[in-house]
Amino acid sequence: MTEITRQRRSELTAKMLEALFQHPDGLSFSNLLDLIEKTASLNAEECAAHSLQPSLRCFEEALWTGTIAPVKAGWLRSDRDQLSLTKAGRRAFAEISDPSELIEKAASHSLRGWLSVHTPRAYRLASRSLDQLLIEYRLVRRVGVGHLLGKNLGNANHWKEVLPVQTPQRFIIDLNLDIERGWAPYLDSIGVEYFEGGHTIYIPPEAVRGSVFEELMRNYPADSGIKLIKNHGGVDEGRYLRNGYGVAAGESVLLRSLVYDHRRLTLVANLLHAKDLGPRLFDLVEVQCGEHTFTAYIVEHVGGQTPSLDQCRAGLRRIAELENQGLLKINLPDGFADEDFEPPTCNGNALLTPNEQFRYIDFQNFLLVNYEKYLEKIALEATEKSHFGDRSLLRGGAYLYQSIPGVRLPSRRRIEDRIGPLSELLNSAGVSVERRLVLDFGCNIGMMMAQYLKLGAAWCHGWDRAALTPHTERMLLSLGCTRFSLTGCDIEASRAVESDLPGFLDPLLKGSVISYLAVRGHLGWLDALARIPWQFLIYEGHEDETQEQFEGFIREFKQQVRFEVRGVRDYRDGDSDPRTLAVLVREETSP
The answer on pLDDT for 389 being more than 80 is no
- Specify whether the CB–CB gap between 357 and 276 falls below 8 A: yes
- Weakest mean pLDDT among 335-339, 423-427, 457-461, 470-474: 335-339
Q: At what angle do helices 111-118 and 6-21 cross, to 10 degrees?
A: 120
Q: How far apart are CA 150 and CA 144, in angstroms?
A: 10
Peptide bond into 307 cis (omega under 30): no
Q: Summarize the confidence of residues 113-123 as an average pLDDT.
A: 78
Q: What is the pLDDT of residue 393?
A: 30
Category of 484 on φ-ψ map: left (φ > 0), alpha (ψ -120 to 50) or beta:
beta
Closest CA to 382 of 319, 443, 461: 443
* Confidence grade of residue 591 (pLDDT, cut at 50, 70, 90): very low
Q: What is the pLDDT of residue 416?
A: 80
Q: Which amino acid is at 163?
A: L
Q: Summarize the confidence of residues 31-54 as an average pLDDT.
A: 85
pTM value is 0.77
The predicted-structure confidence for 300-331, as pLDDT tens digits, reads as follows 999 878 999 999 999 999 999 999 999 999 99
Q: What is the pLDDT of residue 391?
A: 37
Domain extent listing, the chain: 6-118, 158-369, 397-589
Q: Phi/psi at 292 (nearest 5 deg)?
A: -110, 150
* Confidence grade of residue 396 (pLDDT, cut at 50, 70, 90): very low
254-290: burial string, b at 16+ Cβ within 10 Å, e else:
bbeebbbebbbbbbbbbbbbbeebbbbbbbbbbbebe
At 82, which helix (H) or strand (E)?
strand 82-85
Q: What is the pLDDT of residue 127?
A: 59
The more confidently predicted of residues 276 and 132 is: 276
Q: What is the pLDDT of residue 399?
A: 54
Category of 184 on φ-ψ map: left (φ > 0), alpha (ψ -120 to 50) or beta:
alpha
Q: Phi/psi at 283 (nearest 5 deg)?
A: -170, 155
Bridge partner residues of 228 (DSSP) = 201, 296
- Weakest mean pLDDT among 89-103, 215-229, 376-390: 376-390
320-338: burial string, b at 16+ Cβ within 10 Å, e else:
eebeeeebbbbbbbbbbeb
- Weakest mean pLDDT among 10-14, 21-25, 151-155, 397-401: 151-155
The answer on pLDDT for 98 being more than 50 is yes
The more confidently predicted of residues 266 and 40 is: 266
Q: How far apart are CA 222 and CA 227, in angstroms?
A: 15
Rounded to 10 degrees, the C-alpha dihedral 117/123/124/130 comes to -140
Mean of per-residue pLDDT scores for the chain: 87
The answer on pLDDT for 445 being more than 50 is yes
Name the DSSP letter for residue 354: T
- Specify whether the CB–CB gap between 533 and 512 falls below 8 A: yes
Q: How far apart are CA 542 and CA 524, in angstroms?
A: 12
Q: Is the dihedral of CA 154, 275, 286, 427 positive or negative?
A: positive
Q: What is the pLDDT of residue 222?
A: 95
The answer on pLDDT for 247 being more than 50 is no
Q: How far apart are CA 65 and CA 335, in angstroms?
A: 27
The more confidently predicted of residues 255 and 76 is: 76
Q: What is the pLDDT of residue 134?
A: 55
Q: What is the pLDDT of residue 128?
A: 56
The answer on pLDDT for 433 being more than 90 is yes
3 state SS of 341: helix
Peptide bond into 421 cis (omega under 30): no
Q: How far apart are CA 532 and CA 513, in angstroms?
A: 10
Q: How far apart are CA 57 and CA 123, in angstroms?
A: 17
The predicted-structure confidence for 476-491, as pLDDT tens digits, reads as follows 999 999 999 999 999 9
At the top level of CATH, which class does the domain 6-118 belong to?
Answer: mainly alpha
Q: What length does the chain have?
A: 591
- Specify whether the CB–CB gap between 9 and 117 falls below 8 A: yes
Q: How far apart are CA 268 and CA 483, in angstroms?
A: 16
Closest CA to 466 of 438, 500, 498, 437: 500
Q: What is the pLDDT of residue 447?
A: 93
Q: What is the pLDDT of residue 123?
A: 65
Q: How far apart are CA 292 and CA 180, in angstroms?
A: 11
Q: Summarize the confidence of residues 516-528 as an average pLDDT.
A: 95
Tell me which CATH code domain 397-589 carries: 3.40.50.150
